[in-house]
Amino acid sequence: MKALKKVIHNLDPKFEKGGKWEKMYPLYETLSTFLFTPKHVTKKGAHIRDGVDLKRTMFMVIIALVPCLLFGIYNTGHWHYELQSYLNPEQYAGYSDYLTGFGDKVVYGLIQVLPLVIVSYAAGLGAEFIFGFIRGHGLHEGFLVSGLLIPLTMPADVPLWMVAVATVFAVVIGKEVFGGTGMNILNVALTARAFLFFAYPTAMSGDKVWKSGTKEVMAENGGLMPDGSSGATALGDLATFVGDSPSVAGEALSASASNGALLDKFQAAYDPIHAFIGMIPGSVGETSTLAVLIGAGILLFTGVASWRIILSFFAGGFVFGLLMNGISANAYMDMPAFYHLIIGGFAFGAVFMATDPVTASQTQYGKLWYGFLGGGLAVLIRVLNPAYPEGVMLAILFMNVMAPLIDHYVVQANIKRRQKRFKTA
Amino acid sequence: MSDNAENVKAPKESLFSKKNKKLITEPLGDNNPITIQVLGICSALAITVQVEQAFWMSVSVIFVMIFGNLIISLLRNLIPSRVRIIVQLVVVASLVIIVNELLQAFVPDVSEKLSVFVGLIITNCIIMGRFEAFAMSNKPFPSILDAIGNALGYAWILIVVALAREVFGSGKIWGFEIFGSNIPDEETGQMTGLYELGYMNNNMMILPPMALIVVGIIIWVQRSKNKELVEEH
């Protein structure tokens, strides 16, 4: 270790101003600070510099994302073979069981998901390096996390070039335009997802993308889904409760069926325990609330994420879910409120997206408001707008924009309170 | 007598003096009405989905701008300053009606697509702005040059934005498919060109927010090239 450190520090002068490889400084700085804490020392004022700098903070988030990634890989494989088992019942007998064919599912998942991760990192780091060279600084750390978040928020079947385009868009328009890491208004990973969602809706939503390989299976089956299978997510199914022709897991139900009967069918198809563990189709990393909570534990234990945001986000979703139960105009509104927290990307958004320290509220009270309103808005968008079955992405982006406003009012209220105290004293 | 008259008269300016040339070149670049003054944004967002629409919109604005500036400049000493805005509005409205009739007569399908946005040229801030800021206080010839400069400055931004949006949003330029056809062939069921390889049109390019982002990118490039344009804050 010490020897390596010595080698690197001996290289220092060559990269500094006037050195031989001055132009390569951004590259060098990136790599050297990745291995060792930078040797910057505060020279003026009484500032304390923690050894845990941004790179190490970001690394904690990556570690916290690993459970989601691993589960996502397996889940992708599972739903692929589940669909295959409808088409070739003999060859894939029992594959609709969650744990049968473990090896096959892991291998397929890896083949589908790893390229997404690699492309996302390559495209994003490429864009960051270009801006780093132009502006003369090293690679900014923020993208280490965004690069892993982006593939986790996509359906596993999304074409790789779309991931690259969306990543470059998010890095350049979402971040570099505003001045780079720490200056962005919107969460970078969600910007990439929102871009794809609006630019290529057929690849990002509907009921043909959530199970990997749906297109191939349909092509083999004469353009139709195999009998008895469904490609929709739980949220996609729920959205039909608002429309005219409700269906659960591909099975059409009569529109006249009572709300209670619809919900019973739904709960049978998406058992809460399964939904909590994540055994439902969806974007790569979002399905498992369990894996997300393990990640949340790591983030909270290391003090990287704010418990205020996570807790209030869940609280907001639950309270607005109850509110919808109170209105209960259709089957969707009647759904038990806790379901909102375990299906779709709600938990993933609450733990990994809403807590982004750059785009969230900065004040303590502001964080509570920010999380609560974000969670509530996510449920509102889900329930009231069937065109957007998943509301978490839009809710968090909207709250990102509102965060400075929330902070402003919190700070003003604090000033007023203290002025009052000063007057009465 | 003649000596005196010559002394009183200001030295005659040549038609294309440096000052006059600047009237045309400045609005094209460093004083562009869209990217620097950020005027006329509404139409830049609304009608830049296709190059064809953007082109005819530009032509219309160039026409209204030139004749409007000329008329206002000729009338500048007759217009009472209290009612000048109303007079300007009457002039621009009459010209827009002429343009609208011409478009309907000669390019009816484009006119249909542009619909209300031709009428809205009346409220285009660039036109009223140039009337008020330039034509009201300058002679006819410089006013015409100013009109040409500003209208062209507006036009090239419009066309560039429309080009980006049509190419990436619909895969076409002026209606011609450049990446192949994305509608499956009736017989083979195959798409052609890039679409066969999995390329898809970017729907976001057709939505207005992307027009704003494209204009923003132009502004970004322009200001990073010429640091003097960056505002202090």
Element (H, E) at A248: strand A247-248
Report the residue of B165, B203, B206, B225 to disrupt the A interface, i.e. the one with the largest count of A CBs within 10 Å. Answer: B203
Could you tell me if A232 and A207 are in contact, meaning their C-beta atoms sit under 8 angstroms apart? yes
Report which of residues B1 and A1 the model is more confident about: A1
pLDDT in tens, A18-28: 666 766 676 77
Contacts of B198 in chain A (CB under 8 A): 159, 161
Task: Specify which residues B177 forms β-bridges with.
Answer: B172
Could you tell me if A345 and A393 are in contact, meaning their C-beta atoms sit under 8 angstroms apart? yes
Q: How many residues does the structure list for chain A?
A: 425
Could you tell me if A237 and A332 are in contact, meaning their C-beta atoms sit under 8 angstroms apart? no
Could you tell me if A398 and A377 are in contact, meaning their C-beta atoms sit under 8 angstroms apart? yes
3-state secondary structure of A201: helix
pLDDT of residue A100: 83
pTM of the model: 0.87
Q: How far apart are CA A190 and CA A353, in angstroms?
A: 8
Burial of B37 (0-12, 13-18, 19+ CB in 10 A): middle
- Taking residues B3-20, report their average pLDDT: 64
Between the alpha carbon of residue B155 and those of residues A16, B109, B170, the distances in Å are 47, 20, 21
Contacts of A200 in chain B (CB under 8 A): 200, 202-203
pLDDT in tens, A125-153: 999 888 888 887 767 777 889 999 999 99
Between the alpha carbon of residue B1 and those of residues B4, B6, B12, B229, the distances in Å are 5, 9, 19, 50
Residue B10 is classified by DSSP as: P
Contacts of A192 in chain B (CB under 8 A): none
CA distance A161 to chain B (A): 9
CA distance B161 to chain A (A): 16
Q: How far apart are CA A357 and CA A403, in angstroms?
A: 11
Tally A–B CB contacts below 8 A.
22
Report which of residues A183 and B193 the model is more confident about: A183
Question: What residues of chain B, 15 to 74, have a C-beta less than 8 Å from chain A?
Answer: none
Out of A275-279, B19-23, B74-78, least confident range: B19-23
Q: How far is CA B32 from the centre of its chain?
A: 10
Amino acid at residue number B173: I
Give me Rg for the CA atoms of chain A. Answer: 24
Which residues, at least 6 apart from A278, have a Cβ–Cβ distance to it below 8 Å?
A71, A75, A287, A288, A289, A290, A291
Amino acid at residue number B79: I
The Cα angle at residue A313 between residues A311 and A316, in degrees rounded to 5: 110
- Please give the ipTM for the structure prediction: 0.84
Q: What are the residues of chain A with a beta carbon less than 8 Å away from any beta carbon of chain B?
A: 159, 161-162, 173, 177, 195, 198-203
CB contact (8 A) between residue A200 and residue B213: no
Say if B221 is an interface residue toward chain A (CB within 8 Å): no
pLDDT of residue B114: 86
Neighbouring CB atoms inside 10 A of A196's CB total 28
**CB nearest B203 (choices: A173, A177, A200):** A200
Which residues, given as ranges, of chain A have pLDDT below 50? none
Nearest to A214, CA basis, from A83, A382, A368: A83
**CB nearest A198 (choices: B204, B216, B217):** B204
DSSP B87-112: HHHHHHHHHHHHHHHHHHHH-HHHHH
Percent of chain B whose predicted confidence (pLDDT) is above 70: 94
Q: How far apart are CA A396 and CA A390, in angstroms?
A: 11
In angstroms, the first-to-last Cα distance of chain A is 59
Contacts of A202 in chain B (CB under 8 A): 200
Report which of residues B214 and A31 the model is more confident about: B214
CB half-sphere exposure, A73, CA atoms < 13 A: 19
Contacts of B205 in chain A (CB under 8 A): 199
Out of A277-291, B164-178, B218-232, least confident range: B218-232
Say if B216 is an interface residue toward chain A (CB within 8 Å): yes
Nearest CA in chain A to B204: A199
Report the residue of A168, A198, A205, A218 to disrupt the B interface, i.e. the one with the largest count of B CBs within 10 Å. Answer: A198
pLDDT of residue A47: 66
List chain B domain ranges.
41-223
3-state secondary structure of A353: helix
Q: How far apart are CA B66 and CA A346, in angstroms?
A: 57
Q: How far apart are CA A109 and CA A216, in angstroms?
A: 16
Residue A270 is classified by DSSP as: S
Q: Check the CA dihedral A198-A377-A368-A421 and report its sign.
A: positive
Q: How far apart are CA B101 and CA A269, in angstroms?
A: 62
What the block records as the tokens of A144 is 């280490």
What the block records as the tokens of B217 is 């990118």
Q: How many residues does the structure list for chain B?
A: 233
Nearest to B30, CA basis, from B225, B214, B216: B225
CB contact (8 A) between residue A198 and residue B213: no
CB contact (8 A) between residue B205 and residue A201: no
What the block records as the tokens of A331 is 């089957």
CB contact (8 A) between residue A177 and residue B220: yes
Could you tell me if B36 and B157 are in contact, meaning their C-beta atoms sit under 8 angstroms apart? no
Contacts of A203 in chain B (CB under 8 A): 200
Q: How far apart are CA A326 and CA A258, in angstroms?
A: 17
pLDDT of residue A208: 81
Identify the residue whose tokens are 């909102």: A340
Between the alpha carbon of residue A201 and those of residues A34, A66, A137, B13, the distances in Å are 37, 28, 36, 60
Which residues, at least 6 apart from B33, have a Cβ–Cβ distance to it below 8 Å?
B27, B39, B40, B126, B129, B150, B153, B154
B131, B132, B138, B140: CA torsion to nearest 10: 20
Could you tell me if A229 and A83 are in contact, meaning their C-beta atoms sit under 8 angstroms apart? yes
The Cα angle at residue B167 between residues A180 and B117, in degrees rounded to 5: 95
Element (H, E) at A339: helix A337-342
Nearest to B125, CA basis, from B99, B88, B75, B159: B88
Element (H, E) at B204: helix B203-206
Say if B213 is an interface residue toward chain A (CB within 8 Å): yes
pLDDT of residue B5: 46
In angstroms, the first-to-last Cα distance of chain B is 57
Question: What residues of chain B, 98 to 137, have a C-beta less than 8 Å from chain A?
Answer: none
CB contact (8 A) between residue B202 and residue A199: yes
CB contact (8 A) between residue B203 and residue A159: no
Q: How far apart are CA A82 and CA A105, in angstroms?
A: 10
Ramachandran sector of residue A289 (left: φ over 0; alpha: ψ -120 to 50; beta: rest): alpha
Q: A364-384 and A307-327 are packed helices; what angle lies between their axes, rounded to 10 degrees?
A: 40
CB contact (8 A) between residue A198 and residue B203: yes
CB contact (8 A) between residue A199 and residue B213: no
Q: How far apart are CA A39 and CA A16, in angstroms?
A: 14
Using pLDDT thresholds of 50, 70 and 90, give the confidence band for residue B2: very low
**CB nearest A159 (choices: B198, B205, B216):** B198
